[in-house]
Structure 1
Amino acid sequence: MTIPTGPTGPTGRTGRAGRAGRTGRAGLTRLLTALLLVGLSGACVRLPDAGPVEVGPERRTATLDEGFPYEPRPPQPGETPAEIVRHFLDAMTANPITTSVAREFLASSSRESWNPEERMITYADTSTPSGTSDVEVTLIDGNRLDSRGAWQGPLPDSSATVSFPMTVEDGEWRIKEAPNALIVSDSWFDERYRQVSLYFFDPSGEILVPEPVFVPRGGQLSTALVRGLLRGPAEGMRGVSRSFFPKGLRLDLSVPVSPNGLADVALQGDISGVDPETLELMTVQIAWTLRQDPSVERLRVTVGDTPVSQSGSSSDVPIVVGQIYDPTGVYAWQDLFGLRNGRLVASDSGRESRVRGPFGRRNYRLADVAIDLPAERAAVVSGNRSQLSLGPVSSGGAGDIRTLLTGASDLAKPAWDHSGRLWVLDRRPDGAQVSVYADGRRRVVSVPGISGENVIDFLVSRDGTRIAAALDRRGSDVVVLSRLETGGQTVRASRARTILEGVGEQLQLRDLGWRSPTDIVVLSKLSDALSEVRTFSVDGSPATQYGETATELIRDDIARLAASPVPNTPLWVVPSDGTALQLPPEIDAGVPLLGIQALTYVG
């Protein structure tokens, strides 16, 4: 069986070719905006070119890690119940990561049943353990991760106080029962875990869907990644993402990587009766996920002694396999579009030109525009944001324009996904209404936590599985995210959860954009003289919100972002006067670009 590798490497602009001529992007590179203070008045620019725990086996083994080694001491004779619990928590911070010493603090009857791989809890601080027959500890500012290492958000207040029933064994206090969790401090977690993505597919099997997780740093990255894949999508993700791993497959110990970059993925299980296409897609999942290990260049996948994939006479598969399933949309146009004097313009090799379609020939007094991924169709919003129309980008005339919606209250910029679905949000007096146009029909979509809310801006991911919105909240705005199930004739959405909120600050959000398939960039106003651009993960984990990921701008009139999820694509901001600024700015940015509005990438 041969795995299709697709087109080779990124080549800049992809054009308007169909799937057969699509070019891809190798790998997923997380792009964070560098911290920068810039004055807009001096900018001269033009349109541009172009686990919680270790996901492991049934019993945790020592994991190679970064940082100083730390071997916690086992229980000491005569320790009090409070000391046993305090030292039990300390024992979970061993480096290399292992829970062998922590188990010694448990009663012999519970050592085998304790399962710290079930979840992880992190905390900023703890109260002093107190009690005798039951020792209680309160975890301050706790957070949760599931067994795959996926961030689950804050620990509920009802679970913040943890009780440890105690017992006496051989004259010494031991913990009778402990929560099935690895409980560690934020600082320990931040130093020893890194965020990566596990790659699954959308329900149709047409595009990859990355799911962020945290795994231990160090020499076992490939092993942790494959084990995470074998666990499958998170519970409740059916209809959102799917895995093509046949049931019952398990990893044979680990994933060794040879000095020449070959990752040997040896699986055990039964694949008889599994069709070749399923095994191909399984291999694509492995390849895209292992790209995040810089030591891996090729992979070999076997089940038992049977090679799953072959390329020519070799069973080795290049790590760039499966480019046609790129979550950024392998066929997506890479350059910018915008409005000038009410007409649609495009960037071509860094030079601005009007498009040849009807929106480039006449001033329709447009307020906003969204271009589908292959740059074939434009969805435009009228100047008063009450009407939505659709027309071709590069051909046709006024007669090819079709009105999709009239009488709206305040349309936000629409969004396109990889399958050509057009997502629309109307900011109505009674709250936002979300709808989607697909197969020639419009369907209103109920998105709990977004529908009916006061929405500033919204986004839909190119893989069609995520919808995010900036909400206008009294005191401080927030960003929320919902997962979309788009199979069949219905569209369902999960309740949106908060993924960005002000901590000791009042957020005044203005615009949203994608910075990668799993990163969102937000524009917010800090004061009358300063705006901020911040990048954070779709999972809302604090480690990705408050690092050095902000770009601060001296001007208070930054109105818009132009951002793309494609790696290494420039980020642009546009103030109300249309003077576009690239971040970070180029050394030679050309002449000032004035009067540009609705600057945007496709999607």
Structure 2
Amino acid sequence: MGAEGGGRRRPLRVGVYVGCGAVLLAGCASMPDGGDLRDVESTPRQDAQVRVFAMPPRDDARPEEIVQGFLEALTSDDPQYETARKYLTESARRKWKPYESTTVLADGPNTVTQHSGARDGSDDYVFTLTGDKVATVDAQHAYAPDGGTYKKSVYLTQQKDKQWRIDGLPQGVLMGKSDFQRNYQSVNKYYFASTVPTGSGGRPGAVADPIYVRKEVDPMTETVRALLRGPTRWLDPVVRSSFPSSTALRKGVRSLTPDDQNKLTVPLNAKADHVGQTQCTKMAAQLLFTLKDLTPTGVDEVELERSDGSQLCVLGDDRAGTVAAHGPGKPPEYQYFIDAKQRLVRLLAAGSGKDPEPVPGALGEGDKALRAAAVSRGEDSAAGVSLDGRSLYVGSLVSGGSLGEAVLRSAGKTEDERLTTPSWDGSGDLWVADRDPGKSRLLLLEGGAGEPVTVRTPQLDGRIKAVRVAADGVRIALIVEKDGRTSLQIGRIEREDKSGERPGVSILELRSATPQLEEVTAMSWAADSQLVVVGRESGGVQQMRYVQVDGSTPLRSLPSALTGVKEIAASEDEQQPLMAYSVDGIVRLSSSSQWQKVVKEGSAPVYPG
């Protein structure tokens, strides 16, 4: 392979070497014609700014070289896989669909050669590609964890010019995990929640829809195209796009690049020609939220154009928040936990160094002993679970406010069979699970009051141990226990709004966000599409890590090690520090990346939500 702007050595885990690691103008050594196939571990790329290009097949290359060269080309930064196509026959080039999927293996693919494995009796070669599957990225760029063994065949034939070429191959692209991490990056597309009430000021809530795009192959243009094509299948039932159906980039537009003022102009086709200003600004807001972190400096302004080049609308990043509610809204003012007296107390989120103080109202000033609590996202009310886990109380955070009767009671026989820590969504509804084995259920209290709604969970396989609802109100994270194993499951919240009746609420299409962990003991939302979890792998020790809602691992620095973590709290505002309850008491991860003790006696740390 050749490299632009630097160099590296990156042989794949496949049969033989083709090409070489390039250091600027270093040339490639000649390729042996024979020899046994052998496995070579891939090595990670050292310079993230290097662009890597594949080498085309050399004359009279042996079949082993053709297979290896093709696999190597799949991991290059060739925009249209033009070099990879040179390893195929004309017929195979027409049939091959590289954008159909990307299969990720634990290591690079292994190859097994079979001579004269012809499909039609001719003197062809057959190579079997094998490996352990890790994940699949589909045609919508959506990532999904996968498992089992990968086994597909590649057929080679000798053309009339005596050159060997691939004549039959599986659809899509194949590569090892390290090459996938080097080639792809996770990006959040944004749509608007369609099944929950609008936020303050009638603004729709923005919902993150994570996808993976190739890092060095115009990721901005590909992300915009993916946004215009609509949400991924998993999220589609609960969100909507402001772009009219079939909206696309204007014909002939090949690349989008911000100008030197960080303004991006997006020319659209005729499907968007007649949208009004209100709709257009929502379209622009979707783009601004999506493109915010895609470049080092971000995109500060978006201009949308009609098919004739005239302006539709312009929206700056400073105004996008007035169009739609994005993330947790305002930064949290306080951090909260239960102190040694079983009261709800708070600390300034800014970390002023002041001692914790009881919250205003009965949950902080009264005599009700608590073991867990949740604070509304507006920080004007809170819900507390009694020390025995049996009762749920809701009260305002106003000095002198009374508590009243419990809004919910559990009949579970032991503390572990009663109520979980509750969670507030962005619409002001309160969620909690009752772990009573005789009546295990997930409950929703609209506005934190009234008769609880039993949430349908038709695909739940196990018992809920913890509940956290995303700020957008359409995604929920559950720790689920079954047969002694606990996992983190992400579900989609669907609401049936029947006129004159209470809405029916369901959690559908639960999927694991931690397939590699055998045990998950604590979790919290830590960004629009990320959570921080505490757990362990099979045979491993406790660890803390970030995970994506799609089950992938984000390229984000791991939290510093902490001993004996029992509970974890994070804010969807990524600027806020982590908090935890550990053997050292309540601790907080400071900006210096070192955990600092807040108090020795305390438990159940939470941020609003």
Give the CA deviation at 1:337: 2.1
1:144-155 alignment runs, 5 A limit:
144-155=136-147
Contact conserved, 1:144 with 1:154, CA < 8 A, in 2? Answer: yes
Note if 1:584 corresponds to 2:566: no
Give the structure-2-normalised TM-score: 0.77
Alpha-carbon separation, structure 2, partners of 1:539 and 1:590: 32
Alpha-carbon separation, structure 1, partners of 2:99 and 2:593: 50
Which residue of the other structure, out of 300, 315, 318, is the alignment partner of 2:316?
318
Q: What is the aligned-residue identity percentage?
A: 24
CA 1:509–1:592 in structure 2 vs 1: closer, same or farther (change >3 Å)?
A: same
Alpha-carbon separation, structure 1, partners of 2:95 and 2:226: 22
Give the CA deviation at 1:401: 5.0
Question: Which stretch of structure 1 is more off in the superposition, 511-520 or 216-225?
Answer: 216-225
CA 1:591–1:290 in structure 2 vs 1: closer, same or farther (change >3 Å)?
A: closer
Q: Over residues 482-528 of structure 1, what are the superposed CA-to-partner deviations in whole Å (9 max), with x where a residue is unaligned?
A: 2222352222322322221446xxx553321121121111224799x
Q: Indicate the residue corresponding to 1:491 in structure 2.
A: 505
Question: Which stretch of structure 1 is more off in the superposition, 256-265 or 341-350?
Answer: 341-350
Q: How many residues align?
A: 520
Q: Indicate the residue corresponding to 1:460 in structure 2.
A: 469
Q: Over residues 221-251 of structure 1, what are the superposed CA-to-partner deviations in whole Å (9 max), with x where a residue is unaligned?
A: 3212212211211124332222211122212
Letter in 2 for 1:199: Y
1:179-198 alignment runs, 5 A limit:
179-198=170-189
CA 1:246–1:552 in structure 2 vs 1: closer, same or farther (change >3 Å)?
A: same
Alpha-carbon separation, structure 1, partners of 2:232 and 2:380: 35
Alpha-carbon separation, structure 1, partners of 2:261 and 2:335: 39
Q: Indicate the residue corresponding to 1:116 in structure 2.
A: 98
Aligned partner of residue 277 in structure 1, secondary structure: helix
Q: Indicate the residue corresponding to 2:303 in structure 1.
A: 300
Q: Over residues 409-436 of structure 1, what are the superposed CA-to-partner deviations in whole Å (9 max), with x where a residue is unaligned?
A: 4111011111112111122326852122
Q: Indicate the residue corresponding to 1:510 in structure 2.
A: 521
Contact conserved, 1:520 with 1:538, CA < 8 A, in 2? Answer: yes
CA 1:236–1:587 in structure 2 vs 1: closer, same or farther (change >3 Å)?
A: closer
1:290-439 alignment runs, 5 A limit:
290-292=291-293, 293-295=295-297, 296-304=299-307, 305-310=309-314, 317-324=315-322, 325-331=324-330, 333-340=332-339, 341-348=341-348, 350=352, 351=354, 352-394=356-398, 397-398=401-402, 400=404, 403-408=407-412, 409-429=417-437, 432-438=440-446
- Gap runs ≥5 in structure 2: 1-47, 120-125, 199-203, 498-502
Contact conserved, 2:432 with 2:443, CA < 8 A, in 1? Answer: yes
Give the CA deviation at 1:364: 0.8
Q: Indicate the residue corresponding to 1:248 in structure 2.
A: 246
Alpha-carbon separation, structure 2, partners of 1:97 and 1:386: 59
**Aligned-pair Cα RMSD in Å:** 3.2
Q: Indicate the residue corresponding to 2:14 in structure 1.
A: none
Q: Over residues 229-276 of structure 1, what are the superposed CA-to-partner deviations in whole Å (9 max), with x where a residue is unaligned?
A: 112111243322222111222123221222232222122222255343
Q: Indicate the residue corresponding to 2:215 in structure 1.
A: 217
Which residue of the other structure, out of 193, 196, 199, is the alignment partner of 1:202?
193
Alpha-carbon separation, structure 1, partners of 2:575 and 2:546: 14
Give the CA deviation at 1:438: 2.3
Alpha-carbon separation, structure 2, partners of 1:119 and 1:538: 20
1:3-82 alignment runs, 5 A limit:
66-74=49-57, 76-77=59-60, 79-80=62-63
Q: Indicate the residue corresponding to 1:562 in structure 2.
A: 569
Q: Which structure has the larger Rg?
A: 2
Q: Indicate the residue corresponding to 1:262 in structure 2.
A: 263
Note if 1:553 corresponds to 2:551: no
Which residue of the other structure, out of 453, 456, 463, is the alignment partner of 1:446?
456
Q: Indicate the residue corresponding to 1:125 in structure 2.
A: 108
Which residue of the other structure, out of 511, 516, 520, is the alignment partner of 2:531?
520
Note if 1:103 corresponds to 2:85: yes
Letter in 1 for 2:433: L
1:132-151 alignment runs, 5 A limit:
132-133=117-118, 135-142=126-133, 143-151=135-143
Letter in 1 for 2:301: R
CA 1:428–1:165 in structure 2 vs 1: closer, same or farther (change >3 Å)?
A: farther
Alpha-carbon separation, structure 1, partners of 2:533 and 2:318: 31
Letter in 1 for 2:328: G
CA 1:92–1:372 in structure 2 vs 1: closer, same or farther (change >3 Å)?
A: same
Letter in 2 for 1:347: L
Alpha-carbon separation, structure 1, partners of 2:164 and 2:592: 65
CA 1:406–1:283 in structure 2 vs 1: closer, same or farther (change >3 Å)?
A: same
Q: Over residues 529-549 of structure 1, what are the superposed CA-to-partner deviations in whole Å (9 max), with x where a residue is unaligned?
A: 9853222222211465xx751
- Gap runs ≥5 in structure 1: 1-64, 311-316
Contact conserved, 1:392 with 1:400, CA < 8 A, in 2? Answer: no
Aligned partner of residue 239 in structure 1, secondary structure: helix
Alpha-carbon separation, structure 2, partners of 1:333 and 1:386: 29
Aligned partner of residue 322 in structure 1, secondary structure: helix
CA 1:592–1:209 in structure 2 vs 1: closer, same or farther (change >3 Å)?
A: closer
Letter in 1 for 2:296: P
Alpha-carbon separation, structure 2, partners of 1:395 and 1:197: 41
Letter in 2 for 1:575: S
Alpha-carbon separation, structure 1, partners of 2:51 and 2:469: 42
Give the CA deviation at 1:403: 1.9
Alpha-carbon separation, structure 2, partners of 1:330 and 1:548: 24
Alpha-carbon separation, structure 2, partners of 1:575 and 1:510: 12
Q: Indicate the residue corresponding to 2:579 in structure 1.
A: 572
Q: Indicate the residue corresponding to 1:593 in structure 2.
A: 599
Give the CA deviation at 1:476: 5.4
Contact conserved, 1:67 with 1:192, CA < 8 A, in 2? Answer: no
Alpha-carbon separation, structure 1, partners of 2:592 and 2:466: 28
Question: Which stretch of structure 1 is more off in the superposition, 198-207 or 271-280?
Answer: 271-280
Q: Indicate the residue corresponding to 1:12 in structure 2.
A: none
Alpha-carbon separation, structure 2, partners of 1:530 and 1:153: 22
Q: Indicate the residue corresponding to 1:22 in structure 2.
A: none
Aligned partner of residue 225 in structure 2, secondary structure: helix
Letter in 2 for 1:493: I
Q: Over residues 72-121 of structure 1, what are the superposed CA-to-partner deviations in whole Å (9 max), with x where a residue is unaligned?
A: 223644744x6544433233223344411222333323423422112211
Give the structure-1-normalised TM-score: 0.78
